[in-house]
Structure 1
Amino acid sequence: MSDTAQSKWIPAKSWQHFVGGAIGGMAGAIVTSPFDVVKTRLQSSLFRESHLAVNVVANGMNGGVLTMPQGRSGLLRHFVETTHIIRDIYRDESPRALFKGLGATLVGVIPARSINFFTYGNGKQIIAQRFNDGVENSYVHLGAAAFAGIVTGSVTNPIWVVKTRLQLVSNHAAALQSTSQRSLVSSLDMIKQIAREEGIRGFYKGLSASYLGVTEGTIQWVLYEKLKRLNTESHGKGGFREWAGMLGSAGTAKCVASLITYPHEVLRTRLRQPMVNGVKKYTGLVQTLRLVIAEEGARSLYGGLSAHLMRVVPNAAVMFWVYEGILRWGNDSS
């Protein structure tokens, strides 16, 4: 392929998006891993059921009816609950449990962020050049982000299934599962079990919810691009204020996108849960949505929201900051 033909399809320095996404995603995942564990457990019905069982044993029954403690309402209660769960995991399961599933997370994050940033970063340039006279705008960003989300979700879904299953294996949740499940200690064990019990299709549970979640990535990218442009116009390029503004832009974009689209996270986690006693409770996206609302109410669709925000906002800030830094470094070193 000639250099002229290649330049039409592959923008110059496309590798920077790939490397920047990988390193940024890895840094963010390590820093915020404990919140990821808490978020997954709060989204899962298995954890909720096992937590209820523990309260029955610890508090007893009051006239045959379990009375659950009533805490503060609203977002503050969720943040308090998050810190309590982190404390309980640290105390009951060891500090290492706060990083349970991190191996699978990194195995997923590195290719996922590489693919997403590579596809988006190069995609927006290609779309702009071929369809908008080389000018980037919100429509270009939207199209590139949607395409990047679909590609990333399709390729990495099996990794997230394994990660979710690993994070649901705890002393509490194990009480509701089989002996073979309680003995799982590694990603390889989990992969073997899923393949044995559910086949290849088991690795693609929650894929429909992942596609629904493409809207989150799309909103995040479009909003980030707008905020980054406003920040650059206000403070110029280079200097502390621009980089601080970039951190704020990334965190704000992720926060807004997460608040708008969060229910798909809960649905995806439920779809990826393991079978209990050979019974598959959640079978499809619509069925899961209806069942969760019927059994637990609409508020349960925001289970784990505080832990999610405590994880994804700083995660996005770190990830995009590193990503932008690598892009700048690559351009300056040329």
Structure 2
Amino acid sequence: MDISQTTIHNEQQHIASDTQREQIHPIKEITFGAISGMIGKLVEFPFDTIKVRLQSSNSVLPISTFQMISSTYKNEGFFNGFYKGLKAPLYGACLETAILFSSYNLASTFFVNTLNDYDKSSRHHVDSLPFWTKCASGGFAGFAASFILTPVELIKCQLQVVNLVSEGKSTASYSSLIKSTLRNEGVTGLWNGLSSTMTREVIGTSIWFGTYEYINDYYKTAKDPWIKNHDIQLLLSGAMAGVTFNLSMFPVDTVKSNIQTQGIYNKQGINAGFWSIFKSLISKNGGVKNLYKGLGITMVRCIPANALIFYSYEVLKRNF
């Protein structure tokens, strides 16, 4: 083997090894993703309850985040108010995060193999996966997860607001709401809001993984990063991924929450679509600000939740 062939071989090995560090056994990958999702959901769920209620509130007068928190605790207590409907989202978060990480790594592996094949045929050296492939892999992961996430979030959002409508006296449960949905709308009713969920997840998860990978790459290549502790770097990368995801996709999430909870407020059986609800929200008192109801508390919850999701996944992968 001459020098040029040796160089090409070493370059190909560099690309392969860059990916192999990210590859783990599929069962471990699913397990680590599930555990990480569960940890994140336990942290964020009380905040998410308030966020959904603020997004879906039909009150004429604006309700502040503090007023909603105070009212929820006073009328419903801590667990019944803030953790209403936790069980299925907890399972859903396990499944969703497992799918997100598995799908992301599957798509990344596809891009690596494709680039390696291109490298072999053209002798063109690629140091690592281009940033766009990481965003594209994230979009694919969001697409896959949206099919699981939609029915889980549908029932979760309805449970989170049903107490608000009934002043804390509702006896609704996951099973009763699922039966009601199946009876009134059929099986497809469980996927009400799929298009808005998919829009949020495809674009948002692309940004989510893209932000995480971009910040991680910075710490890997920076000669003198301002934060040198690896654990803090992981936490910061995950936190920033959550911030960019929620800031960019919050209006879509608001419309999605209203689509999925309109049956609780509207007893006439009329289901409005994405653009109808979007126009309705911005035409109300407050205008565009209505699309950002609950953004503040969402920022509070997304920072620790997403930091822990990525951190716990990386720690589990590193140690097991």
Q: TM-score range by the shorter chain?
A: 0.7 to 0.9
1:258 is aligned to 2:258: no
The CA distance in 2 between the partners of 1:270 and 1:87, in whole Å, is: 22
Q: TM-score scaled by structure 1?
A: 0.78
Q: TM-score scaled by structure 2?
A: 0.81
SS at 1:168 equivalent = helix
How far apart are 1:89 and its partner, in Å?
Answer: 1.4
1:106 is aligned to 2:90: yes
Given residue 259 of structure 2, which amino acid in structure 1 is its aligned partner? L
How far apart are 1:280 and its partner, in Å?
Answer: 4.4
Contact 2:54 2:68 in 1 (8 A): no
Alpha-carbon displacement from aligned partner over 1:211-238 (angstroms, at most 9, x marks no partner): 21121111111111010121233489xx
Return the match for 1:122 from 106, 112, 129. 106
Contact 1:270 1:282 in 2 (8 A): no
Return the match for 1:174 from 166, 170, 174. 166
The CA distance in 1 between the partners of 2:70 and 2:296, in whole Å, is: 15
Contact 2:242 2:303 in 1 (8 A): yes
Given residue 291 of structure 1, which amino acid in structure 2 is its aligned partner? S
**Structure 1 counterpart of 2:301:** 311
**Structure 2 counterpart of 1:270:** 258
Change over 3 Å in CA distance of 1:231–1:40 after alignment to 2:
same
The CA distance in 2 between the partners of 1:29 and 1:110, in whole Å, is: 9
Given residue 48 of structure 1, which amino acid in structure 2 is its aligned partner? N
Higher-RCO chain (CA-CA 8 Å, sequence separation at least 6):
1
Given residue 296 of structure 2, which amino acid in structure 1 is its aligned partner? S
How far apart are 1:182 and its partner, in Å?
Answer: 6.0
Kindly report which structure 2 residues correspond to 1:52-91, keeping only aligned pairs within 5 A, or say none.
52=60, 81-91=64-74
**Structure 1 counterpart of 2:146:** 153
The CA distance in 2 between the partners of 1:223 and 1:324, in whole Å, is: 16
Change over 3 Å in CA distance of 1:240–1:19 after alignment to 2:
farther
Contact 1:232 1:242 in 2 (8 A): no
How far apart are 1:164 and its partner, in Å?
Answer: 0.7
Alpha-carbon displacement from aligned partner over 1:8-51 (angstroms, at most 9, x marks no partner): xxx5523333222111110111122210100010110xx333xx
Kindly report which structure 2 residues correspond to 1:282-293, keeping only aligned pairs within 5 A, or say none.
282-293=271-282
Given residue 315 of structure 1, which amino acid in structure 2 is its aligned partner? A
**Structure 2 counterpart of 1:247:** 235
Given residue 89 of structure 1, which amino acid in structure 2 is its aligned partner? T
How far apart are 1:124 and its partner, in Å?
Answer: 0.8
Contact 1:220 1:254 in 2 (8 A): yes
The CA distance in 2 between the partners of 1:201 and 1:84, in whole Å, is: 36
Structure 1 unaligned blocks of 5 or more? 1-10, 53-67, 70-77, 176-180
The CA distance in 1 between the partners of 2:223 and 2:174, in whole Å, is: 46
**Structure 1 counterpart of 2:311:** 321
1:211 is aligned to 2:217: no
Change over 3 Å in CA distance of 1:235–1:110 after alignment to 2:
farther
Alpha-carbon displacement from aligned partner over 1:258-300 (angstroms, at most 9, x marks no partner): 1122101101001101424532455211222122212341110
SS at 2:171 equivalent = coil
**Structure 2 counterpart of 1:22:** 34
Contact 1:235 1:241 in 2 (8 A): no
Alpha-carbon displacement from aligned partner over 1:134-170 (angstroms, at most 9, x marks no partner): 8312121122111111110013311111111110111
Q: CA RMSD in A?
A: 2.8
Moved more, 125-134 or 214-223: 125-134
Change over 3 Å in CA distance of 1:138–1:277 after alignment to 2:
closer
Change over 3 Å in CA distance of 1:201–1:241 after alignment to 2:
same
The share of aligned pairs that are identical, in percent, is 26
Return the match for 2:58 from 48, 57, 62. 48
Structure 2 unaligned blocks of 5 or more? 1-22, 120-125
Given residue 27 of structure 1, which amino acid in structure 2 is its aligned partner? I
